[in-house]
Amino acid sequence: MAKVEKCSCGNDDDGLLERLEEIIISFKEKPGALIPVLQATQSLFGFIPQEAILKISEILNEPLSKVYGVITFYSFFSLKPRGKYLIRVCLGTACYVQGANEILTALKQQLSIEIGETSPDKLFTLDVGRCFGACGLAPIIMVNDDVHQWVKPSDVKKIISTYKKQKEKNKEEAI
Amino acid sequence: MDINKYMHVLKNAGDLTTLYDTLLKSKEYNSEKIYICAGGGCIASGSMKVKEAFVSQLANAKLDGTLEIMETGCLGPCAIGPVVVIGKDDTFYQKVRAQDVKEIVEQHLIGGKIVDNLLHPVDEQKVSKKSELPFFKNQDKQVLRNCGKINPTKIADYIACGGYKALSKVLTSMSSEQVVQEVTVSGLRGRGGAGFPTGTKWNFARKSQDTEKYILCNADEGDPGAFMDRSILEGDPHSIIEGMAIGAFAIGSSTGYVYVRAEYPLAIERLQIAIDQALEFGLIGKDILGTGFNFDLEIRKGSGAFVCGEETALITSIEGNRGEPRPRPPFPAEKGLWNKPTVLNNVETFSNIPLLINNGGAQFAEIGTEKSKGTKIFALAGTVKISGLVEVPVGTPLRKLVYDIGGGISTNKKYKAAQIGGPSGGCIPEEHLDVPLDYESLNILGAIMGSGGLIVMDESSCMVDVARFFLEFVQDESCGKCVPCREGTARMKQIVDRICEGKGEMKDIDELEKLASTVTNASLCGLGQTAPNPVLSTLRHFREEYIEHIRDKKCRTAVCKELIVFEILDLCNGCQACKKVCPVEAIHGEKKQAHIINTELCIRCGLCLSTCKFDAIVKY
């Protein structure tokens, strides 16, 4: 399992575990708290680090095996850090019959990664989704929360470079 | 409408009526409006930029005091978004960009002349009025009554449309028995897929003597190709809250949960706003309208597991566990969430409830067929001209949906099939285009109504590949608890994979049918029990395509990779773009001379085809 050295978004993890502890305690009395707590963890760290699992298990008084079992059951949770941009190709029916597979192939080729992997520059993680409910715009891909519709395999290069530029722009602004 | 102005806790039913009357007389309610679709589809197409442009253009024209901009829920025709409706004359504009807004304001709103090039063409004619467009004219919007008319983030808008009147009526003048009776009379059946009578379900839970009961809303709309629940959540969330509160009263529950899938962030956001507002107005929470009835409502987010759309799996997930289904009986109405009597209905079902209470069950039952009442929302997608969200009376022929409302096939190819009901459903071929869309008629054809996802496919879709797609889906999403589903779908997928690769044998078809029957009969939950449907339905209506794949090693649509051949035509000008992009160096040829593909080396990735700018590469 990955260690928390740095959060996937590039920020330091300073204080994140303490904040997680507060979150877990605030949920403690709620029935069925485990999943909301894991969701909070996922959005706090960008993934679910080992230290967080230990803390959740301890405070919620749930066996480690159960916490781990729940994490691995749901596709929303990740045990590995993800890239800054999570690219999800919709493989729902409408997208599939309109060429989603070719988009996926083009993305794999452009990023030189497979499904579930993160690019070496930690910028992109490639994943697939099962219908985002935007079938009227098929085929679509989602980059974080942005929807890109009517995507053609030849559009992939441009979409990726837009996000690369965005990252550079953010960097410049930070300086 | 500015809700803060009207915000106060409604202490009794009279307060609600007074508020309703005040709202109807208010300046905001009576002002002319510009409706801008803020459904997920139109937002993705840029409707928020259009809205900003309207704000600044109206201010420039000094019209911002007289015209109100209304951000609405989904209007329906997602494919031609962003869409804008001008309230005063019902003009419908499609594909509006921010730079078009100036023209709309100056030419139309000030000059009174409609902007022709933004109208939706119908048979080469331009139709300006929304109500006259075939897409809208042929629908019967009941559940979607408010989608496109109100701002979903403002409770005052919902109340001004008669919202929460049904809840008030139920709490002040009906017994729980009467409510259940009304729902039973209406003939409403669950809109999540199986079509179980809602009244019967409520009655089971109502009769239970347990003091602790739960009401759950299934908003884990996982069927690929279905987005009606998303649109209701985003476009009219209060109708769900009101329906759930009525349900809670009917069964004697004071706690509800809405289980929304994580893939719908906007739906979660808008539903939460709606819940908070309902709480502020005292329409949920403690002592609602002074009647002593309490109802707490909370959102639980899904975490990306399709099986959680199954009722017992959803319950297990809310309890904080792996979302694995439980055997039934005991049914949730007896032992559901935390082993207490629980009613679980789908979003669309709950959204029907206020309507049915307001108009009475008998009137509700006038729409639809003998056994299936009311309307059904379908998510029309695939190769159809106007894809989007449509609502029609149950029993409307499929042809009407595809051709009259959807405008027909969007490509120059012919209709081949409509896949209805997602991974539990089936494909309807051309000869059955006139099938009435109701639970029974679809079952006879081996399909199901399901949640209402309807994907139209033209002749370029391979039906064996479609079956493979759904098998891969259910295989991936099978929770793994029971063997028939976990292993059976895997074995079925192996066989279909083999057929798609040209390695199938004729006996594979029998094998598939045998396995399908075992998986159907022996699986624990609905996911497994219906998982073989896409295979059985394509085998039934498109058997010859399976045979072609096996006997002739041919995929007539050139979809199945292993069975297709890429060829470079003589018109190739030797630009070498394909040669450079080929990952296995299967393309040869000198510069400025026609190239050749070595089919032995070719891995059929299709990169050459998508790279060629001269249409010189074909696949067959």
Tens of pLDDT, residues B344-368: 999 999 999 999 999 999 999 999 9
Selected for mutation to probe chain B from A131, A144, A146, A151 (highest B CB count within 10 Å) is: A131
pLDDT at residue A7, rounded to an integer? 47
How many Å lie between the alpha carbon of A39 and the closest alpha carbon of chain B? Answer: 8
pLDDT tens figures, B69-112 = 999 999 999 999 999 999 999 999 999 999 999 999 999 999 99
Residue of B nearest to A101 (CA): B605
Percent of chain B with pLDDT over 90: 86
- For the segment A102-121, the average pLDDT, to the nearest whole number, is 92
Q: Tell me the pLDDT of chain A averaged across its residues.
A: 87
pLDDT tens figures, A49-102 = 999 999 999 999 999 999 999 999 999 999 999 999 999 999 988 888 888 988
The interface residues of chain B toward chain A in range 180-199, judged by CB-CB distance below 8 A, are none
The interface residues of chain B toward chain A in range 263-322, judged by CB-CB distance below 8 A, are 263-265, 300-306, 317-322
pLDDT at residue A168, rounded to an integer? 79
Is the confidence at residue A116, as pLDDT, over 80? yes
Q: Do A33 and B320 touch (CB under 8 A)?
A: yes
Q: Do B453 and A93 touch (CB under 8 A)?
A: yes
Residue of B nearest to A92 (CA): B224
Length in residues, chain A = 175
Q: pTM score, two decimals? A: 0.91
Range name among A96-100, B277-281, B411-415, B477-481 with the lowest pLDDT average: A96-100
The rounded Cα A117 to chain-centroid distance in angstroms is: 11
In angstroms, the CA B396 to CA B441 distance is 11
A129 interface with B at CB cutoff 8 Å: yes
pLDDT tens figures, B5-29 = 666 789 999 999 999 999 999 888 8
Using DSSP's 3-state secondary structure scheme, residue B31 falls into: coil
Instruction: Tell me which residue of B81, B57, B79, B78 sits closest to B69, measured CA to CA.
Output: B57
pLDDT tens figures, B533-545 = 999 999 999 999 9
Is the confidence at residue A45, as pLDDT, over 80? yes
pLDDT at residue B282, rounded to an integer? 95
Kindly state the tokens that stand for B368.
């639809």
pLDDT at residue A170, rounded to an integer? 76
Q: Does ipTM exceed 0.95?
A: no
- For the segment A116-129, the average pLDDT, to the nearest whole number, is 92
pLDDT at residue B290, rounded to an integer? 96
Q: State the amino acid at position B235 in one-letter form.
A: G
Q: Do B606 and A35 touch (CB under 8 A)?
A: no
Is the confidence at residue B204, as pLDDT, over 50? yes
pLDDT at residue A13, rounded to an integer? 56
A23 interface with B at CB cutoff 8 Å: no
Length in residues, chain B = 620
B473 interface with A at CB cutoff 8 Å: yes
Question: What residues of A are in contact with residue B338 (Cβ under 8 Å)?
Answer: 31
Pairing of strands B375-382, B453-458: parallel
CA B554, B560, B563, B568 dihedral sign is: positive
pLDDT at residue A1, rounded to an integer? 41
Please say whether the beta carbons of B232 and B241 come within 8 A. no
In angstroms, the CA B25 to CA A82 distance is 53
B41 interface with A at CB cutoff 8 Å: yes
Q: How confident is the model at residue A4 (pLDDT cuts 50, 70, 90)?
A: very low
Is the confidence at residue A5, as pLDDT, over 50? no
pLDDT at residue B224, rounded to an integer? 86
Please say whether the beta carbons of A107 and A144 come within 8 A. no
Q: How confident is the model at residue B530 (pLDDT cuts 50, 70, 90)?
A: very high
Instruction: Tell me which residue of B216, B191, B384 sits closest to B312, measured CA to CA.
Output: B216
pLDDT at residue A10, rounded to an integer? 45
Q: How confident is the model at residue A175 (pLDDT cuts 50, 70, 90)?
A: low
Q: Do A133 and B264 touch (CB under 8 A)?
A: yes
pLDDT at residue A3, rounded to an integer? 43
Question: What residues of A are in contact with residue B605 (Cβ under 8 Å)?
Answer: 105
Q: Do A138 and B479 touch (CB under 8 A)?
A: no
Please say whether the beta carbons of B216 and B346 come within 8 A. no
- For the segment B516-541, the average pLDDT, to the nearest whole number, is 96
Question: What residues of B are in contact with residue A71 (Cβ under 8 Å)?
Answer: none
